[in-house]
Chain A
Amino acid sequence: MSDRRVFRAVVPGPPRPGTFGKIRAWWGGWPLGQLAFLAVLALFGWLFVSNVLETMARIGILPGFGFLSSSANFEIGESAIAFRAGDTYLRAIAAGLVNTLKVSLLGCVLATILGVVIGVAGLSRNLLLAGLVRWFIEITRNTPLLLQLFFWMALAKALPAPRQAPALFETVFLTNRGVYIPSLSLEGGPFGLLAAIALAAALGSALLLLLRLAGRLTRRSGTAAITLSLTAILLLLVLSGTRPIVQAPALAGFNIRGGLNLSPEFAALLTGLVVKFSALIAEIVRAGIQSVGTGQWEAARALGLHDGQIIRLVVLPQALRVITPLTTSSYLDLTKDSSLAVAIGFPDLVSIINTTANTTGQSMEALIILIGTFLAINLALSALMNLYNNRVAMRGSTR
């Protein structure tokens, strides 16, 4: 405080500080000391980087990101985007990123659903259920995620081999090569299943946005808009002669062919993340619901609302204000923890980056990509959740 006053006395001129003055005020007291501190840090940073470059030069590695366009001669076990040995490292890393996003996104959704269910179950007046939930939460919370992943992996491997695996309902195979379920695809039409879903989603959100802008968005008009866009796409598909093809997995040669395969590594990673984070989310949900005083329940009951209505209209809007910021950080943690994939052999971003660093020697560049990507994912996710949080908080305060 005192420093700022000293400073004002020194700078002559108008009472309102100019741009420099604003920066100066923001910079605050101890100006030279701060500069010196930051300069020392920068010096250390520079030393580190120059040391790394020196070492790389000594062993003959060229720094830079040129390696991204050279061909990666390894295969990736499972990838949502087409990848073959010989494609570029950039494509390999993209395949890893998609795998990371896939498991994180699915993990967040499933962990939320399971977490809410468990959280509510934990509040049950049934002693047995509440006790069971309590123990489930304590065990999952107090053992390392990596250990849990190893456990799920061991469990996945203990399933029977494809040739011995019994088929559930003739179509679902639980094997040590993964879970096989029938897949649905569209044939003969102008576009595939994913495109159709994306199109329906785009149409639906466009309609919702229009309604919102027109100030006509209500529960009914919203439902109508969604139904309309779904029907439109379905109609389009039927008229264009698209047939849905359900492909059931069946044993062929070494493996089960056809259908959708969730590899054991993916299944173990997803299960591990979902179980661990559902326990955390359950705790958050419990805390959120308990933050709404019992008086509110009683008051709402007195108004003649039934339990479902109370939860939907009274408890949830208030609990969400507590729950949302906490689940946001859970989602961020889940995304970061998906990096443990590397320990069980699921080809996520980290393990692809690891292999890349190993085959090219460009470890510094590879790690810069890794850290940069995770920062970007994190920032995007926090921004998205902040948006939602603002909405929840606002709705709470306006009502």
Chain B
Amino acid sequence: MIVHKTFRRAIQSAAAAAFLATTMLSGLAHAGPTLDKINQRGAIKVGVGTTPGFFAPSSDGKWQGFFVDFGRALSIAVFNTPDKVEFTSSSPQQRLPALQSGEFDILLSGVTVTATRAFKLGFHFGPTVFYDGQGILVRKDLGVTKAADLDGATIGAQSGTTGELNVADFFRKTGKTFTPVTIEDTGQFIDALESGRVDAITQDSSDLVGKRTQLKKPDDYVLLPERLSKEPLAPAIAGGDDRWLELVNWTVNATIQAEEWGITSANVDEFLESEDPAIQRFLGVDPSFAKDLGLDPKWAYNIIKTVGNYGEIYDRNLKPLGWDRGYNSLWTDGGLLYSPPFR
């Protein structure tokens, strides 16, 4: 009788195991692209940071900022509405593993494009949306005017950023020494400068400008003129879904191309009358172009109408903080923004 019972139990557990194993294996077989998951979920999961101007929740909990607008543009490209997107802030230390593990579909948190991240970490990058450089923010009363004066200083960097690596490179190059203090939490990072735990903090200068406004007395701090590195900030996605990558690429390109043509959210409807075949293709007046790409004919129109072109996104979020366009101007204005042709 015992044997009988044992057998019955064994068979039951074997059946359960087999069931679980098949579900897991079938999951493997369906190892599908990110876009499938987005469609299934009905929302894009976007990892962002917290820097005023670039990404910050307003008091009613709605996210806004330069990068956030690109998230909304993506939502329009996929779902035709700007709201099917979930923004979650993630520390620089956690964002890359979180992207790798599929917790986010895309990072719009100011990730720098680097070779290691592309080859070794397996990330793919969309077009650079913001050309930045690493800066150093110091207390004014230290009397420091250039980075080379910081020999022997204590410098804070945020863990998981290129800043942590660049500052080490910079001091190695110049043969000077510094004491690094690596901080993960963004609030603590600012607090370290404020409390005098560190003499200076280093980070993408765009981020530092935003962080400076969060200090109690912003005027007591100054951003040094040097840029320690090139920091092209781009949308980052995990490898393995080419279509998702192209969607990100061309969503960003659409905003740049629209600015080049002078199409804005205000005048986009007038352009529907345009005789230019390229614009007709772009805005879906000629629907066959977008249909061949597998996109909604009105996708670019909707993006421009709702979010605006690159210049509008920039002016809306970054101009109030005193940012010049600088490198982030169209190539026609001597900047680096250049969209490949829509044809």
The answer to whether A47 touches B24, judged by C-beta atoms less than 8 angstroms apart, is yes
Interface string of A39-77 (1 = CB under 8 A from B): 010011001001100101011110000000000011111
Q: Given A54-B31, A85-B172 in contact, is the A59-B100 Cβ separation under 8 Å? A: yes
- Known A-B contacts A254-B152, A358-B97; A74 and B199 likewise in contact (beta carbons under 8 Å): no
Cβ A47 vs Cβ B21 within 8 A:
yes
Bound-state Cα–Cα, A179 to B178, Å: 18
A177–B160 alpha-carbon span in the complex (Å): 23
Are the CB atoms of B169 and A357 closer together than 8 Å?
Answer: no
- CA A161 to CA B14, docked complex, whole Å: 66
A47 to chain B: which residues have CB within 8 Å?
Answer: 21, 24-25
User: Which of A36, A58, A265, A360 is within 8 Å of B10, CB to CB?
Assistant: A36
B196 (CB) vs chain A CBs: closest residue:
A161
- B31 and A253 form a contact (CB under 8 A): no
Q: Is B333 an interface residue (CB 8 A)?
A: no
Interface residue? A30 (CB, 8 A): yes
Contact A32–B10 (Cβ < 8 Å): yes
CB atoms of A358 and B180 under 8 A apart: no
Contact pattern, B 97-115, Cβ under 8 Å of A = 1, otherwise 0: 1001000000000000000
A264: interface (CB < 8 Å)? yes
CA of A228 to CA of B121, assembled, Å? 58
Chain B residues with Cβ below 8 Å from A347 are 182
The B-contacting residues of A in range 153-196, CB under 8 angstroms, are 157-158, 161, 176-177
Answer whether A43 and B21 are a contact pair too, CB < 8 Å, given A58-B239, A157-B191, A359-B116.
yes
Of the residues B93, B122, B181, B195, contact of A358 by C-beta under 8 Å = B93
Bound complex: CA A74 to CA B172 (Å):
11
Interface residue ranges of A73-132 to B (CB < 8 Å)? 73-77, 84-86
Contacts of A257 in B (CB 8 A): 152
Instruction: Tell whether A345 is near chain B: CB-to-CB under 8 Å.
Output: yes
Cβ of B329 under 8 Å from chain A: no
For this complex, into which size category does the number of interface residues on chain A fall? Answer: 35 or more
- Are B13 and A345 in contact, CB atoms less than 8 angstroms apart? no
Q: Which residues of A contact B123 (CB under 8 A)?
A: 59
State the CA gap A40–B197 with chains docked (Å).
53
A157 to B238, CA, bound (A): 39
The reply to whether the CB of A37 lies closer than 8 angstroms to some CB of chain B is yes
Interface pair B142/A254, CB less than 8 Å apart: yes
Whole-angstrom CA separation of A99 from B215 in the bound complex: 32
Contact of A43 among B10, B17, B142, B154 (CB under 8 A): B17
In the assembled complex, the CB of B27 is this many whole angstroms from the nearest CB of chain A, namely 8
Report yes or no: B238 in contact with A361, Cβ–Cβ below 8 A. no
**What number of residue pairs across chains A and B have CB atoms under 8 A from each other?**
134
User: Are A75 and B168 in contact, CB atoms less than 8 angstroms apart?
Assistant: yes
A77–B165 Cα gap in the complex (Å)? 13
- 0/1 interface trace, chain B 149-189, chain A, CB 8 Å (1 if under): 01111100001100011011100100000111111100010
Q: Which of B2, B96, B197 contacts A177 (CB 8 A)?
A: B197
Q: Which of A40, A86, A363 is close to B172, meaning CB atoms less than 8 Å apart?
A: A86
The distance in angstroms between the C-alpha atoms of A37 and B14, with both chains bound, is: 8
Task: Report yes or no: A345 in contact with B2, Cβ–Cβ below 8 A.
Answer: no
B217 to chain A, nearest CB (A): 15
Write out the residue numbers on chain B whose beta carbons fall within 8 Å of the beta carbon of A357.
97
**A2 at the A/B interface (Cβ < 8 Å)?**
yes
Which of B93, B188, B240 is A59 in contact with, Cβ under 8 Å?
B240
User: B118's closest neighbor in chain A, by CB?
Assistant: A60
Distance in Å: Cβ of A55 to nearest Cβ of chain B: 8
Whole-angstrom distance between the alpha carbons of A255 and B181 in the complex? 14
Residue of B nearest to A59 (CB): B122
A33 at interface (Cβ–Cβ under 8 A)? yes
B-side interface size class: 35 or more
* B28 contacts partner chain A, Cβ-Cβ < 8 Å: yes
Q: Could you tell me if B169 and A85 are in contact, using CB atoms closer than 8 angstroms?
A: yes
A354 within 8 A of B: yes
Contact B122 A61 (CB under 8 A): yes
Interface residues of A in 340-399 (CB under 8 A from B): 342-343, 345, 347, 351, 354-355, 357-361, 363
- Min CB distance, B150 to chain A, in Å? 8
Report the Cα distance A361→B239, complex, angstroms. Answer: 13
Beta-carbon contact of A76 and B180 below 8 Å: yes
Contacts of B150 in A (CB 8 A): 254
Shortest CB–CB separation between residue B199 and chain A, in angstroms? 5
Look across to chain B and name the residue whose beta carbon is closest to the beta carbon of A39.
B17
A37, closest chain B residue (CB): B13
In the assembled complex, the Cα of A33 lies from the Cα of B159 at a distance in Å of 49
- Contact for B168 among A85, A177, A264, A363, CB less than 8 A: A85
Minimal beta-carbon separation of A6 from chain B (angstroms): 9
- Determine if B154 and A255 form an interchain contact, defined as CB atoms under 8 angstroms apart: yes
Contacts of B182 in A (CB 8 A): 74, 77, 345, 347, 351, 355
Return the contact of B152 from the options A60, A253, A343 (Cβ within 8 A).
Answer: A253
B2 close to A361 (CB less than 8 A):
no
Structural contact, B120 and A361, CB atoms closer than 8 A:
yes
User: Is B59 in the interface zone, CB < 8 Å from A?
Assistant: no
Distance A312 CA – B20 CA, assembled complex (angstroms): 61
Contacts of A58 in B (CB 8 A): 31, 122, 239-240
A345-B153 in contact (CB<8A) = no
Q: Give the docked Cα–Cα distance between A304 and B179 (Å).
A: 61
Q: Which residues of the other chain, B, contact A176 by a CB distance below 8 angstroms?
A: 195-197
Task: Return 28 A-B CB contacts under 8 Å, by A number.
Answer: A30-B6, A36-B14, A44-B21, A47-B21, A51-B24, A56-B122, A58-B240, A59-B123, A73-B165, A74-B182, A85-B168, A157-B197, A177-B197, A253-B152, A253-B153, A254-B142, A254-B150, A254-B152, A254-B153, A255-B153, A257-B152, A264-B197, A345-B182, A347-B182, A357-B97, A358-B160, A361-B120, A361-B121
Sample of 12 more A-B contacts, CB < 8 Å, known A44-B20, A54-B28:
A37-B13, A43-B21, A47-B24, A60-B119, A85-B169, A157-B191, A157-B196, A252-B152, A255-B154, A342-B184, A345-B188, A359-B116
Which chain A residues have a beta carbon within 8 Å of chain B's beta carbons?
2-3, 30, 32-33, 36-37, 40, 43-44, 47, 50-51, 54, 56, 58-61, 73-77, 84-86, 157-158, 161, 176-177, 252-255, 257, 264-265, 342-343, 345, 347, 351, 354-355, 357-361, 363
